[in-house]
Amino acid sequence: MQNNNQGKKPENGRSNLPFIIIAVALLLLLIFGSRIMQLFNSVGQEEVTYDTFLTAVEKNDVEQVEIGDTYISYLLRADAQEKVRTIYYTARLPGVELNDVVAALQSNHVEFAGILEDDDTSSLLFSWIILPLIFFVGMMLLMRVIANRSGGGGMGGIGGIGKSKAKVYMEKETGVTFRDVAGQDEAKESLVEIIDFLHNPKKYTAIGAKLPKGALLVGSPGTGKTLLAKAVAGEAHVPFFSISGSDFVEMFVGVGASRVRDLFKEAAKVAPAIIFIDEIDAIGRSRDSRFGGNDEREQTLNQLLAEIDGFDSSKGVVILAATNRPEILDKALLRAGRFDRRIVVDRPNLEGRYQTLLVHTRNIHLAEDVDLRKIAQATAGAVGADLANLVNEAALRAVRMGRQAVNQQDLLTSFETVIAGTEKKGTVLTDIEKRIVAYHEVGHALVAALRKHSQPVSKITIVPHTSGTLGYTMQMPEEEKYLDSKEDLMVQLQMLLGGRAAEQLVFGIQTTGASNDIQRATDLARKMVTQFGMSDQIGLMALSTVSNEYLDNQAYMDCAQTTAAEADAEIRKLLNESYDKAKTLLRDNRALLDEISLYLLQKETITGDELMAYVNADSAEKEKLKGADSTDKE
Ligand code: ADP
Ligand code: ZN
């Protein structure tokens, strides 16, 4: 069951403080700059009246005079010892000759000179040279700051200022080996050759063999692509350079390209080396207009292509790139001699998950009762990162509980934490809400238990979790299943809709809690009709194409509109039928539904065994009744 009022996460934007400070400083400078210049100029200036000037000349107080067309300025002998000498000035009276003044000055041996009056030279200087200069320097600073924020250089030569914010990482020795990567045997096999090449490039070049310059690691997030790349570097004992494609796209035009250039230069210096580009789709995305153009990205991509083509692979630089969206990559990247090797890093299967758990519990004290196989069974669909997280959560829980070792309960609880969020203590449901949630969950579980095709339920809970679930029903497949029959899927539909059916049957209401169930049921039904060819009406025609197998399996309808409408009708029919079946099943077992729901309300969490005990007791009772009936008749 899903809670619809989930809290919004706060946006975790980066701090804008340096920007704001620089911008404000610039603005202040622009506004008050001319005032500041005036202040400078007016230091030690004093305007006097014309007669004051004349008197000073007469008294022979004047040391030096400058005579312009419109004003006269002079220094006084009395100020000779001052550090900052006051310049006195006065407006020149129009039409009045200065013959007497000049004569007086001459007789007193005062230095005097005429000056050419231009405009105010200082303000000219300010507006034409200093202002643009300030502006320019400000812009430069801003660019630096932005470039550094979006990934400055980490190693020598790349970037300059702000190395601490580096996004290019270089590890001399990753210390990761294939032993740290569980499962993924096929991927490892493909990478062994590259390791050998890095060990001994001469062996290959001697024959004249050209090794692939790069390989593309393709797989869902968290499946261990970065880990594999690091392991390759670790196995080969070569330095590991890494950068993420998304770091490039926020930069200014040209910065990304130069960073690519520097990256390859650095790697070539210490070759053999591995260059790892995470999320290469961020720069390598197709230049089709379909995804919108972006100059910076194109430049960066072009530079990358040029570098890949340009470097001499015999030196031993191998580029590994990771993506979960190979289908949007530019074809140029995938051409022969570039990333022409594709290594699929799959979600782990049961054995892979078990191995991953083993790897991550290597350094963890496990209690006797721990059964990792069970955990592996319960975590179908989880990727390596989830499992690593799960083990760590379990260890944290053990510490919180003051225990010396991690036990099975820790692992199971943290499984719920990782999958369903931590138990939310604060949410208080009203009694009626709680009853609805209980019936809803038991509705799911009971349909699953009563239909023999279904997977057994391992746990039902109505304890709300922070992720927004108010309760959930956990199924544990007994074995990994790769094929589902139409019957399996039909039962799955009924089970998904069992929650809503129970609500409707018992309370006569429909709640928002079923929205996630309905979404999942609809998705499944749509797949059955448009991809699995399980509808008689549509037949064996595939109506949709899966465009992104590695990220979210999004499918796009690829058929005539009338066919699409027909498919919709089929989907609706499937859903309605399943809903009716679920409802009928629950109605026929109403006593059982009530009984288990009440028990769940009391205990809040019940196990699959407890559920099955109720179901089996009930069917035994029915058998007995039937037996009694038949003996009566005989
Ligand atoms: P990706 O790059 O595919 O998104 P990562 O390589 O970053 O995934 O994986 C994140 C973490 O998950 C790793 O650091 C590791 O702890 C764990 N992990 C993922 N896959 C595996 C695996 N096959 N074996 C062991 N640990 C794994
Ligand atoms: Zn539900």
For ligand 1, say whether the CB of 182 is within 6 Å of any of its atoms.
yes
> Rounded to the nearest whole angstrom, what is the distance from the C-alpha of residue 29 to the centroid of ligand 1?
51
Q: What is the pLDDT of residues 529-555, one digit of tens each?
A: 998 899 888 888 888 877 655 555 567
Q: 323 — phi, psi (to 5°)?
A: -155, 155
Mean pLDDT for the stretch of residues 612-625: 82
Ligand 1 pocket, 183 CB below 6 A? yes
Q: 356 CB less than 6 Å from ligand 1?
A: yes
Structure tokens at 130: 């200093």
Query: What type of residue sits at position 237?
Result: H
Q: Which of the listed residues 169, 174, 227 should we mutate to test ligand 1's pocket, taking the one with most ligand atoms within 8 A of CB?
A: 227
Query: How much is the average pLDDT of 239-254?
Result: 75
Could you read off the pLDDT of 334-384 as tens digits, one per residue? 887 788 788 888 778 778 889 999 999 999 999 999 999 888 877 766 788
Task: Give the pair of three-digit tokens for residue 411.
Answer: 């692992």
The position carrying tokens 């009853």 is: 435
Q: Indicate whether residue 538 lines ligand 1 (CB < 6 A).
A: no
pLDDT value, residue 65 = 86
* Atom from ligand 1 closest to the CA of residue 228: 6
pLDDT tens by residue, 560-580: 888 889 999 999 999 999 999
Ligand 2 center from residue 498 Cα (angstroms): 8
Please tell me the predicted confidence (pLDDT) of residue 157. 37
Euclidean distance between the first and the last CA atom of the chain, given in angstroms as a whole number: 49
Element (H, E) at 76: strand 71-76
Q: Please tell me the least confidently modeled range out of 113-117, 187-191, 232-236, 340-344.
A: 113-117
Which is more confidently placed, 39 or 515?
Answer: 515
pLDDT at residue 12 in the model: 40
Asked if 453 and 493 touch (Cβ cutoff 8 Å), the reply is no
- Residue with CA closest to ligand 1 atom 6: 224
For residue 606, the CA-to-ligand 2 centroid distance in Å is: 16
Q: What is the model's pLDDT at position 217?
A: 92
Share above pLDDT 70 across residues of the chain, in percent, rounded to a whole number: 79
529: CA distance to ligand 2 center in Å?
23
Which range among 30-39, 249-258, 509-518 shows the weakest confidence by mean pLDDT? 30-39
Residue 289 has pLDDT above 50, yes or no: no
CA 489, CA 500: separation in Å to the nearest integer? 18
Supply the mean pLDDT for the chain: 79
Question: What is the pLDDT confidence band of residue 425, given thresholds at 50, 70 and 90?
Answer: very low
Say if ligand 1 is within 6 A of residue 324 CB. no
Q: How far is the CA of 157 from the centre of ligand 1 (A)?
A: 30
CA 467 to ligand 2 centroid distance, Å: 14
Q: Which ligand is in closest contact with the Cα of 499?
A: 2
Residue 2's pLDDT is what? Answer: 52
Residue 198 in this model has a pLDDT that exceeds 90: no
Tokens of 564: 């699409």
Confidence of residue 528 (pLDDT cuts 50, 70, 90): very high
Residue 222 near ligand 1, beta carbon < 6 Å? yes
Q: Can you spell out the DSSP letters for 181-200?
A: S-S-HHHHHHHHHHHHHHH-
pLDDT value of position 504 = 94
Position 119 confidence tier, pLDDT thresholds 50, 70, 90: low
In this structure, the residue with its CA closest to atom 14 of ligand 1 is 227
Burial class of residue 251 in the structure, from the number of CB atoms within 10 Å of its CB (0-12 exposed, 13-18 middle, 19+ buried): buried
CB of 221 closer than 6 A to ligand 1?
Answer: yes
The percentage of the chain sitting over the pLDDT mark of 90, rounded to a whole number, equals 21
46, with CB counted inside 10 A (0-12, 13-18, 19+), is exposed
Question: Which segment, 51-65, 156-170, 354-368, is predicted with the most confidence on average?
Answer: 354-368
- Ordered domains of the chain (ranges, CATH): 1-161 (3.30.720.210), 167-287+294-344 (3.40.50.300), 350-418 (1.10.8.60), 431-620 (1.20.58.760)
Report the atom number in ligand 1 closest to the C-alpha of 386: 12
Average pLDDT, integer, range 461-483? 68
Per-residue confidence (pLDDT) for residue 484, from 0 to 100: 83
Assess whether pLDDT exceeds 70 at residue 310. yes
Which of the listed ranges 57-66, 113-122, 353-362, 532-541 does the model predict with the highest average pLDDT? Answer: 353-362
Ligand 1 atom 18 nearest Cα = 384
Residue nearest to atom 12 of ligand 1 (CA): 385
Hey, which residues are catalytic here? 441
In this prediction the pTM is 0.58
The answer, yes or no, to whether residue 8 has pLDDT greater than 60, is: no
